[in-house]
Structure 1
Amino acid sequence: MTPAAPVRISLLYLFLFLIPARYKELHAQCVVLPNAFAHNDYWHKRPLHDALDNGFTHVEADIYLQRGALIVTHVLHPVFYNRRRTLERLYLQPIEERVRSHGGSVYAGDNRPLILMIDIKTNSSKTYKVLAPLLERYRHMLTEYNDGQIIQRQVTVVLTGRKPSGLLAARNRLAFIDEDLRKTVNDTSVSDVFPIASCRYTRLLDWDGTGSMPQAQKKRLCAFVQFAHRQGKKVRLWASPEKETVWRALLDCGVDLINTNKLEKLKMFLLSRNPETTVLTHTN
């Protein structure tokens, strides 16, 4: 054996054993992103799982009440929905399994709750009367409002779309409401009912991300954000342009949640912008 042979063998050992081990370790980690909101999450190839693999802390699912089942779909038409794609099967069951396998949290080593936003597309009262007992089966992992006290658990359910506001005035419930951001100006309620305040982007802004946001629009947005924050509510603008210039301006104005269908693109943007605010956690 030549003198160089041991060196070559050592390098080969490093390549075959140490590097793959480090590669697997890095890919077993996930970066938790508190500002990331997966809009219409069920459109992705792997609903819920794609969002969680990218560190998202907020996911949204649209539901329709159809023959007693809560179907997850954007349009209630046989071409677009599958009766097996229920809220329980796509979201509640897999979240429960994940919490169990991660020792009691959605992201191992991180105790922040996952926000599951449910967009009700059918009659609010009828849909909620089916949704409420379903949520009750998962009470052990759902944030609860109990006679003025919030009991924080691994998942917080927030209802949007056709909101059953009257029914959610109950003294004990397992769901909260997404408020219209524009109503925060005249609202004195706090986050025990409305933890999030949302609005369609174009109802506040018409800036498409080219150049800088006009000062008048920036001032308007920042004012609404301040109203919501005084009440302890997170702010989200949905249907915003999928551009980094827009995301940057929204965050600069204090918008808490960036709404996106482009999971990996937003993840890389948030990491490049402020990596020190993220948390590394093992997903397996």
Structure 2
Amino acid sequence: MLFRTSCPKVFGLLLALLCCKICLAQHPPLSNAFAHNDYQHKRPLFEAISNGYTSIEADVHLYKSRLIITHILPILHHKRTLEGLYLQPLAEHIQQNDGEVYRGYEKPITLMIDIKSDPNKTYELLKPMLEKYREFFCGYQNGVFQDGPVRIVLSGNKPYDALRNDPDRLAFIDEDLRKVGRDTTTNLFAMASCKFSNLLKWKGKGQLSQKDRDRLSAYCDEAHKAGAKVRLWSTPDNQKVWKELLQCGVDLINTDRLARLRDFLVKDGRAMVLED
């Protein structure tokens, strides 16, 4: 009787795991896809991976010596930690996937940690936590770069000096797009971001003016010279805007609409073709 009762449950669990594996293998990686506030989705991390996203964002607060995943009010979300929601599951996924996030995808994906609390105190706790998973991250050891399947990028309140002075750092900076060309420390920056409305007058309707187009393209060129990928945030979340941004040289499309952006990028021919 126990076997008969539990058998459907076991079958259901196996079916769910099989569906999850199929889902993760279903969509090719999308180098232009950035999952904004990923933790707000039903399946943080894995919903983005199942849709082929190669950049994923998580907001972090330092609260009672823990790194809590939330946009505001960490007291209400104290069980959702950076390690439990992202670092450990990501490491386990890579271990089970032959050392890669996506099989055959040789570039690192980006996990952006948007620091909402004091940058230096947060990094003081973050650094040993990243060290625990060093084998999975791009970074430096004794000043020598070492590649890995995941690149950690720090945004929000950024610990500039702590990273600059750390020969063993496992993190990079998301610089202000309007400032990135002024800094010669090119190995510190992996990304350059800016609020959409701080750079463009366009509201996402009608035509993007030539002046705005030239302005954005020039900033993208400067960032690319510094080795940084470009992202705009708080953008109108629609296909017309996505297309214009890509044409101007923006590398990462910031969205909350994972499936819709995925379909747009695949249709636009921007999905990665991987060899078996």
TM-score by length of 2: 0.88
Higher RCO structure (Cα 8 Å, ≥6 apart): 1
> 1:100/1:225 Cα in 2 relative to 1: closer, same or farther (>3 Å)?
same
Query: 2:192 touches 2:229 (CA, 8 Å); kept in 1?
Result: yes
The structure with more radius of gyration: 1
User: How many residue pairs get matched?
Assistant: 255
Q: Which residues in structure 2 correspond to 1:187-206 (within 5 Å)? A: 187-190=183-186, 192-206=187-201
Distance in structure 2 (CA, Å) of the matches to 1:239 and 1:26: 29
Distance in structure 2 (CA, Å) of the matches to 1:154 and 1:211: 40
Letter in 1 for 2:273: V
Q: Which residues in structure 2 correspond to 1:62-77 (within 5 Å)? A: 62-76=59-73
Distance in structure 1 (CA, Å) of the matches to 2:143 and 2:130: 19
Q: Which residues in structure 2 correspond to 1:57-96 (within 5 Å)? A: 57-76=54-73, 78=75, 81-96=76-91
Query: 1:29 touches 1:281 (CA, 8 Å); kept in 2?
Result: no
**Cα offset, 1:178, TM superposition:** 0.6
Query: 2:101 touches 2:109 (CA, 8 Å); kept in 1?
Result: yes
Query: 1:72 touches 1:86 (CA, 8 Å); kept in 2?
Result: yes
**Cα offset, 1:119, TM superposition:** 0.5
Letter in 1 for 2:59: D
> 1:77/1:152 Cα in 2 relative to 1: closer, same or farther (>3 Å)?
closer
Q: What residue is the counterpart of 1:265 in the other structure?
A: 260
What is the RMSD computed on CA atoms of the aligned residues?
1.8
Identity across matched positions, percent? 48
* 1:35 paired to 2:29: no
Query: 2:68 touches 2:74 (CA, 8 Å); kept in 1?
Result: no
Distance in structure 1 (CA, Å) of the matches to 2:111 and 2:22: 28
**Cα offset, 1:278, TM superposition:** 1.7
**Cα offset, 1:112, TM superposition:** 1.7
Q: What residue is the counterpart of 2:178 in the other structure?
A: 182
Distance in structure 2 (CA, Å) of the matches to 1:77 and 1:71: 6
Query: Which deviations, in whole Å up to 9, do the C-alpha atoms of 1:113-148 show, x marking residues without a partner?
Result: 120000111111111101111001001111112344
Q: Which residues in structure 2 correspond to 1:154-169 (within 5 Å)? A: 154-169=149-164
* 1:233 paired to 2:235: no
The gaps in structure 2 that reach 5 residues or longer are 1-20
The gaps in structure 1 that reach 5 residues or longer are 1-23
